[in-house]
Amino acid sequence: MAEQKAPDASTRLWGGRFTGQLDPLMIAYNESIWFDRAFWAQDINGSIAFARANVATGILTQSEFATIEKGFNAIRKEWESDKFEIKPGVDEDIHTANERRLGEIIGKDIAGKLHTGRSRNDQVATDLRLWLRDQLREIEACLVDFLNVIAERSEKEMDLILPGYTHLQRGQPVRWSHWLMSYGSFFSTDLERLREVLKRVNRSPLGCGALAGNAFNIDRDAMAKELGFDELMPNSMAAVADRDFIIEAMQWGSMLMLHISRWSEDLINYSTAEFGFVRLADAYTTGSSLMPQKKNSDSLELLRGKCGRCFGQMAGLMMTVKGIPSTYNKDLQESVEPMIEHVKTVKDSTLIATRVLATLTTFPDKMLAALTPDMLATDLAEYLVRKGVPFRETHHISGRVVALAEDMSIRMDKLSLEQLQSVDQRFGKDVLEVFNYEKAVELKSAIGGTSRSAVLEQIRVLQSKVQGN
């Protein structure tokens, strides 16, 4: 088959200054249509808003605008029905493709007026912001669902008590709901951050031209209002150069994935035979090709692993942007693919995390069996504090009780009153009441603690944050 001849540069939107042909490899290297076609709807909406505003500038008549809008609606239907035909080597990007098709439908004379005062620089910046805004709103809804599941399970399973860990060593007993709400705190803070990021994403660059602004006094406020932007980018040079909003969104996504990764790590441990606190639903596990008994927590392991992917996308884009000069440079095209993949990974991960939590089974007996009386050593020290003994002294006394139980190879709660009083005479008959896990968690009633009332307050705070209060 003969090699296809490359299109002449002069046939392109920017081709008036060029006379020679492009290297076919350069054409493929330069094209972004195969990934930025994801923005077809945003590109159409932005173009319609721009055309409508140009009726007021006198660039277009009302009749010409109606023709353009009708043409774009026809193109919209082609995209929606997957019938839009991309022409390789001609359609560099989504902007070129849509404008080319508009000219075929309504004629080039009217279609050729659309781009007056507009550059692909402000056009792509508009498309990116519109698309990312819509995607982040979807992720926001997914995160709200996740937080609602956390709150619902926390209320429903309030009576479950398990070890709380530091250094992956058993520390003190806590409610299962308290553990859930510890991550609820992380994720609700992520929700707050996301809503802040959305404010900075939702700023309009449309009407800023290539870098210097629009020469026809176009009403940028009207276009922004039509497209649902909250405010304008106030400087045209910054508007076309800015990809901070993508980087910030990816920084946010990396933080969310970091928290999902830590949450996953805990549940991976809790689902092992060594812990046995939870069991994942079959829908979110896989087996071994060799060992029939295995039930692997692949969903959680993938969530943990994809954190690194998301961070890499964010760090890669930061390194791309850090060295380019002011306004638009083609390097900025490299923001599109990692952003699209990052957003998909974060959204899918949030959905998977929600479904894993909603369907997992808890085993209260296994949680209770993991509790040991030595985890109440601090409570034993606090028993003496209530009798007026300084904590530094009671801490030492409690440590001696732990050592005594170890030396005698018995559990602390099996020590007799006489044995306890051999360590310190201030232990009274009521000291054995210390060795009660339910009582121990209920004593932690200050705000943020693991008592029932404290955890219920945490749930209330989380629900308030979800509602934006």
pLDDT value for 2: 39
Classify residue 440: in a domain, yes or no.
no
Q: Is 242 found in the same domain as 356?
A: yes
Active site residue 115: no
Q: Which of 61, 91, 111 is the last residue of a domain?
A: 111
CATH of the domain at 244: 1.20.200.10
Q: Is 325 found in the same domain as 191?
A: yes
How far does CA 328 lie from the centroid of its chain? 28
What Cα–Cα distance (Å) separates residue 341 from each residue in 36, 338, 346? 12, 5, 9
Average pLDDT, the chain: 94
Classify residue 360: in a domain, yes or no.
yes
Classify residue 462: in a domain, yes or no.
no
Q: Is 132 found in the same domain as 44?
A: no
Classify residue 4: in a domain, yes or no.
no
Q: Is 259 found in the same domain as 288?
A: yes
How many residues are there in the chain?
469
Closest CA to 187 of 86, 257, 246, 138: 257
Classify residue 25: in a domain, yes or no.
no
Q: Which of 86, 111, 136 is the last residue of a domain?
A: 111
pLDDT category of residue 7 using cuts at 50, 70 and 90: low
Q: Residues 397, 423: contact at Cβ < 8 Å?
A: yes
- Fill in the DSSP letter of residue 75: H
Q: Is 302 found in the same domain as 188?
A: yes
Q: Is 232 found in the same domain as 127?
A: yes
Q: Residues 70, 159: contact at Cβ < 8 Å?
A: no
Q: Round to whole Å and give the CA distance between 311 and 253.
A: 8
Q: Round to whole Å and give the CA distance between 342 and 254.
A: 9
Q: Is 249 found in the same domain as 261?
A: yes
The number of distinct structural domains making up the chain is: 3
Given 32, 63, 115, 167, the catalytic residue: 167
pLDDT value for 30: 85
Classify residue 36: in a domain, yes or no.
yes
Mean pLDDT throughout 325-345? Answer: 97
pLDDT tens track for 345-380: 999 999 999 999 999 999 999 999 999 999 999 999
Q: Is 126 found in the same domain as 169?
A: yes
Classify residue 197: in a domain, yes or no.
yes
Q: Round to whole Å and give the CA distance between 444 and 454.
A: 8
Q: Round to whole Å and give the CA distance between 196 and 215.
A: 33
Q: Is 408 found in the same domain as 357?
A: no
Q: Is 107 found in the same domain as 250?
A: no
Q: What is the pTM of this model?
A: 0.92
- Domain of 426 in residue numbering reads as 373-435
Given 10, 63, 288, 453, the catalytic residue: 288
Classify residue 446: in a domain, yes or no.
no
Closest CA to 269 of 307, 301, 291: 301
Q: Which of 111, 135, 168 is the last residue of a domain?
A: 111
Mean pLDDT throughout 198-214? Answer: 98
Q: Is 349 found in the same domain as 241?
A: yes
CATH of the domain at 45: 1.10.275.10
User: Long-range contacts: 330-337, Cβ < 8 Å, 24+?
Assistant: 330/30, 332/241, 332/243, 333/32, 335/128, 335/243, 335/246, 336/32, 336/35, 336/36, 336/128, 337/35
Tokens of 27: 């054409």
Q: Residues 398, 370: contact at Cβ < 8 Å?
A: no
Mean pLDDT throughout 46-52? Answer: 98
Active site residue 342: no
Mean pLDDT throughout 160-177? Answer: 97
pLDDT value for 416: 93
Q: Is 240 found in the same domain as 95?
A: no
CATH of the domain at 395: 1.10.40.30
